[in-house]
Structure 1
């Protein structure tokens, strides 16, 4: 056997050992789910609506006319998995979940069903990304998938961007991904926070962020308004950036209450628990830095006036923080995760208190201190632009 044959023989064996493409699948075999809604039917079943991306034909860079970028498919079943599998009966393609943006859960469903159980299928499905956002909706969740998006190709994408930007620039909602909710619901406090959406009453219809739904023991227990969410994020040390409103110093002489604003640049909160007694004592210290956004009726031309304004803002924020804490204690929802801190510090004590933690949390003695530093008035002189 010549040298060429000797060299070719190993290559032939390698080629014979290679597998073919007998099990390959084309892109056209799949339907990509962008968003899904879950509602409870009158009979107690589950209504699922899946928003499937519908690619449009393009010619020479031009769009494919008026064809919608998505289609919605509805199924009704007794379980999420069975309902999801039935999507194939209508779609004619295999549902793929790797591009899903949001999971919408109707408020009625969230109050009567365990959120952990609802999300169980998605957690077990290896195709679903754990960074998918979850939203609780006012009214039926399906209504939020049928509106026309403003800019994005699908309303599912629009809902995702609303959450991201509302949290980043206003701190009036919370980003809740599947992984975040799993961690929170499996923590000792068993309390999670999920963005809450409403629909406007005007035309065209548009969904908007409207605070946060508090999930306790698996079910929706409370709805926090956007302003309250700011206080909760401050206490959780997760406040990104935003605007803090406060009434003018001289509000007593105003027929209509005027509000001024502080644009925050930094907010830090430290929680110091004392679990040596029952109920525990918790001290909160919140430090806020920012610049003035609006001065409608206040003048700052010297250090004395600046200090007076800082004290005024501090008083308002302290009152708001204590109001939110009082509300959480009334509902016995440990949003701050105090129970988790207790477990980390003293697992044995947590084991003794765990069964009655709701009542213990309601009796905790919270004390708070707030420090406010106005770094800039926003103008060379700290006077309001218009005179009286």
Structure 2
């Protein structure tokens, strides 16, 4: 009997230590934010639109994956993000939960005139938002991007996040930058970031596409009026060491002429590994920047090349290297004209040669603009695909 009483007493004490839902926080108390758009209002204040998950919608109950029914969008105008957050919560009737946010969009008009740090300080101090939230700039007002229907995802916030991820990791035409990245960069005066810039294109449906990269400068925290064109993006990402993989078009040589449609023929080189080496020295009183790109790739499409022989393979790789060198030099010329060191040459110099950096740091943007830049490329082919190393249209028995 005593043993039974003792056992019951122990179990009672242990039960007091078990976790329980005693904090009175229920799911019905929260509004889960999926995406946020920040614009400048006509009065000069900020206009914030929040896309919020709508639980228990008819689409959810029926199990149908209809687009647009699982969320709602609310807009408020305020002087600060904190004030806008409280207004949105009051309008929704629930406390806002930011931890599920997928994308943060900032309109061109507001980020060109106002320090982005003033807009994002709220998200860095609050416990809710995650540092992994993707940040993008938009053509025109950011709020209109949250009103379009997603193509395949349940919310446009998730659609934007996955589109940016594919553009960065598979296509090699964009970069991914998060709240945490911007927080770190903002602590380094003189640093420059590349932000994905999106626009709306309309064919059968309204579609969001990444069309360029915006140059964000610190400590100003604003973007330049000029955007980096998409054709320069792959080469700048290679130089920065941020190129994952992607496809590059290699124009055929003049003797191959044009295709039957009159369009210049091109081969396709798929890059799946890229390394960049950068070195900054001094020559003739100005910076000398040497860049070497080391690429591994495979054949994507062949229309005018034959790599079945050693000479044919070497000749094709020579064309690849020359085309990438040309593209990289054009991209470097563009950012030098804008006095934007997106090559990270200043960071290299500060780490490797502090004495030389101190002599140039006061006007580094100017020094960078007339620096001598030399780009070299080494390319390899590791795979020709299921076919051999000659074009699909090659005549049997032809060399």
Q: Normalised by the size of structure 1, how large is the TM-score?
A: 0.90
- In structure 2, relative to structure 1, the CA distance for the partners of 1:351 and 1:84 (3 Å cut) is farther
1:93 to partner: Cα distance:
0.1
Aligned to 2:49: 49
Name the CA shift for 1:329/1:60 in 2 (closer, same or farther; >3 Å).
closer
> Conserved in 2, the CA contact under 8 Å of 1:278 and 1:360?
no
| 1:312 CA drift (Å) | 1.3
Please list, as runs of the form range in 1=range in 2, the aligned pairs for 1:174-323 lying within 5 A after superposition: 174-217=175-218, 218-221=221-224, 222-250=226-254, 253-254=257-258, 255-274=262-281, 278-323=285-330
- Rounded to whole Å, the distance in 2 between the matches of 1:378 and 1:343 is 44
Distance 1:287 1:3 in 2: 75
Q: CA deviation at 1:92?
A: 0.2
SS at match of 2:286: coil
- Residues 7-61 of structure 1, C-alpha deviations (whole Å, 9 max, x = no match): 9889989999999977421110000000000011122111100000001257997
- Cross-structure match for 1:62: 62
State the distance in 1 between where 2:148 and 2:202 align. 13
Alpha carbons 1:80, 1:118 under 8 Å: kept: yes
Alpha-carbon distance between aligned partners in 2 of 1:60 and 1:317, rounded to the nearest angstrom: 49
Q: With structure 2 as the length reference, what TM-score do the two structures score?
A: 0.88
State the aligned residue count: 387
Q: Which residue of 2 aligns with 1:108?
A: 109
Instruction: State the partner residue of 1:384.
Output: 391
Question: How far has the Cα of 1:355 moved from its partner?
Answer: 2.3
| Runs of 5+ consecutive residues of structure 1 not aligned to the other structure | none
1:382/1:124 CA distance change after superposition, 3 Å: same
Name the structure 2 match of 1:330.
Answer: 337
Structure 2 distance, partners of 1:129, 1:275, is 42
For the residue of structure 2 that corresponds to 1:280, the secondary structure is strand
* Cα 1:65/1:194, change in 2 over 3 Å: closer
Q: 1:207 to 1:15 in 2, by over 3 A?
A: closer
* Residue 38 (1) aligns with residue 38 (2): yes
Structure 1, residues 170-206: CA drift from partner, whole Å, max 9, x if none?
1111011111122233334320111111111223211
Q: Let me know the Cα RMSD of the aligned residues.
A: 2.9
Q: Secondary structure at the match of 1:126?
A: coil
**Is the CA contact (8 Å cut-off) linking 1:189 and 1:338 kept in structure 2?**
no
Q: Counterparts in 2 of 1:77-156, with a 5 A limit?
A: 77-156=78-157
SS of the residue corresponding to residue 200 of structure 1 reads: strand
The gaps in structure 2 that reach 5 residues or longer are: none
CA distance in 2 between counterparts of 1:296 and 1:260 reads 6
Distance 1:59 1:310 in 2: 53
1:370 counterpart = 2:377: yes
Q: Deviations over 1:133-177 (max 9, x none)?
A: 001111110111001112211110111111111111111110111
Aligned to 1:24: 24
- Alignment CA distance shift 1:157-1:21 (3 Å): closer
Structure 1 residue matching 2:253: 3-state secondary structure = coil
Rounded to whole Å, the distance in 2 between the matches of 1:152 and 1:65 is 9
Q: Is the 8 A contact 2:245 2:271 kept in 1?
A: yes
Q: Residue 89 of structure 2 contacts residue 96 of structure 2 at CA under 8 Å; is this kept in 1?
A: yes
Aligned to 2:73: 72
Deviations 1:85-135 (A, max 9, x none): 110121000001010011000111121111222211111111110010001
C-alpha distance 57-80 of structure 1, shift in aligned 2 (>3 A): closer
Measure how far apart 1:75 and its partner are. 0.1
Hey, what's the Cα distance between the residues in 1 that align with 2:3 and 2:274?
Answer: 76
Match of 2:365 in 1: 358
Distance in 2 of aligned mates of 1:75 and 1:189:
34
* 1:379 Cα offset (Å): 5.0
Tell me, yes or no, if the aligned pair for 1:106 and 1:140 is still in contact at 8 Å: yes
Cα 1:63–1:272 change in 2 (3 A) is: same
| Distance in 2 of aligned mates of 1:38 and 1:276 | 46
